[in-house]
Chain A
Amino acid sequence: MPTSTSFSSVDTALRLTAIALLLRPMGPWFVRPALIAAAALALIYPRALASARLWGAVALLIAFRIADDWPLADNHIYLLAYWALAIALSLRGAAPPAALAHNSRWLIGLAFACAVLWKAVLAPDFLDGRFFRVTLLTDPRFGEAAMLIGGLSQEELVANRRALSPLPEGAAWQTPPPIVETPRLRALARASTWGILLLEAAVAVAMLASAPAWIRHALLLVFCLVTYAFAPVAGFGWVLLVMGLTQTSDDDVWLRRLYVATFLVILFYSEVPWAALLLDVMA
């Protein structure tokens, strides 16, 4: 179990979980400082890091945070709560590393299975491409991707956002304003739609069917590296990575380093406006 000098998979995963809590402090006044304090203590004191009670308290605090402004909490906050609970229960058991790996496979597998269910079955506007077509054209967070990869100009983006502003119910355009969609943008929307669906399905199956370890790790790492370059939810990537890390053995030194590196890459994705910088360079 964690000591001040150990760098086992479990130790690294627990420390990164605490770091994720510190990087994205959350919750109302009666939750936030307690979560920050718990994460800080976990990083400073090995006994705290290995304390089932501390992680149980973290799970409870995150649950309070979810309840406080329900239903607004993002989905990765729920996943973080389940993960903290899993840590607490695993640390109480006879074989915490095995229990954590078992929890990790189930939680990642189920989260991805739910995502696939929504995209492939329940949502009316994902498979027909509308989700990515409209998101690339209207969401400011994807504007740079639309310009960089989709080939739209800034002026075309602005005009498209205006054209896609909603009309009141019952109203209709006499002369609908044109919406500019380049072939590259259409292709990007198509590739994103099917690419993300197939990748998520692959991760779900690999985790729930206990596929060989190298397949699980490869799929999860590829998913995180690709998705969080664009999706502005670094916290989700971090919690997926710390869970995946617990599925490595203590001998997998380089794989563990790869997980840590990917954690840092996602941090850079969230802090560095890489797409805007690339656009400036290309201009």
Chain B
Amino acid sequence: MTIGRTVRRPPLAALLLIAVALAQVGLARAGGLTAWKGGGFGMFSTLDHGAHRRVSAVVEAPERSEQLEMPPSLELLAARAASLPADWLLHRLAEGIVARERRRQRPVSRVTLTVWRTEFDRATLHANERVLRAYVHVVQ
């Protein structure tokens, strides 16, 4: 459809960009996706990105409750969950932790994941961590 001499319909690739960007904004607003990811071109717009988000994990079992340092093998899953703290990503990370604990023959009955976001004061810039999402995985 031609509206004017120089204005033409957006090409397919552009329509795809628009669709993905709209989905990204929706996920950022409703699902906690960081603006830097997901194809919305929000990088360099906010301090809410990977360097200022982290996931902590607490592993529990009878006579056991300890904070786990995220091992290198689970860093990618942790980074994905930190970028988008959705149930399915947190579930996959929790399952990864459970599998790892079992391989090391350590008891695990519950994994609690907390996604933290660092916020900087508008005036002083001093930083505080806030909970973005908490997720409890009970081992079946």
Contacts and interface: CB of A to CB of B under 8 A. Distances in A.
The answer to whether A and B assemble together is yes
Majority-rule SS of A interface residues = helix
Given A118-B45, A126-B45, A75 B39 contact: yes
A134 B47 CA distance: 8
B35 A118 contact: yes
B108 interface: no
Interface in B117-136: 118, 120, 122, 124-131
Interface stretch (A11-19, A35-43, A103-111, A267-275): A103-111
Contacts of A231: 44
A155 interface: no
B47 A103 contact: no
A179 B126 CA distance: 9
A211 to B, nearest CB: 10
B20 A122 contact: no
A6 interface: no
A28 B105 CA distance: 31
Interface string B44-83: 1111100110000000000000000000000010011001
B13 A168 contact: no
A125 B41 contact: no
B104 interface: no
A137 B125 contact: yes
A82 B16 contact: yes
Interface string A231-272: 101000000000000000000000000000000000000000
B128 A103 contact: no
B105 to A, nearest CB: 30
A48 interface: no
B12 interface: yes
Given A122-B45, A126-B45, A169-B131, A114 B21 contact: yes
Given A69-B76, A82-B17, A89-B13, A164 B42 contact: no
A74 to B, nearest CB: 7
Contacts of B80: 69-72
Contact of B12 (A75, A85, A115, A169): A85
A111 B17 contact: yes
Contact of B47 (A69, A122, A130): A130
A181 to B, nearest CB: 8
B28 A173 contact: no
Interface in B1-53: 6-8, 10-14, 16-18, 20-21, 25, 27-28, 33, 35-48, 51-52
28 contacts: A69-B76, A72-B76, A72-B80, A75-B37, A79-B17, A82-B14, A85-B16, A106-B11, A107-B17, A110-B17, A111-B17, A112-B41, A114-B42, A115-B42, A118-B40, A119-B45, A122-B35, A125-B120, A125-B122, A128-B122, A130-B120, A130-B125, A131-B47, A166-B127, A169-B116, A169-B131, A176-B124, A196-B44
Interface of B: 6-8, 10-14, 16-18, 20-21, 25, 27-28, 33, 35-48, 51-52, 76, 79-80, 83-84, 116, 118, 120, 122, 124-131
Interface of A: 66, 69-75, 78-79, 82-83, 85-86, 89, 99, 102-103, 106-107, 110-112, 114-115, 117-119, 122-126, 128, 130-131, 133-135, 137-139, 163-169, 171-173, 176, 179, 196, 210, 231, 233
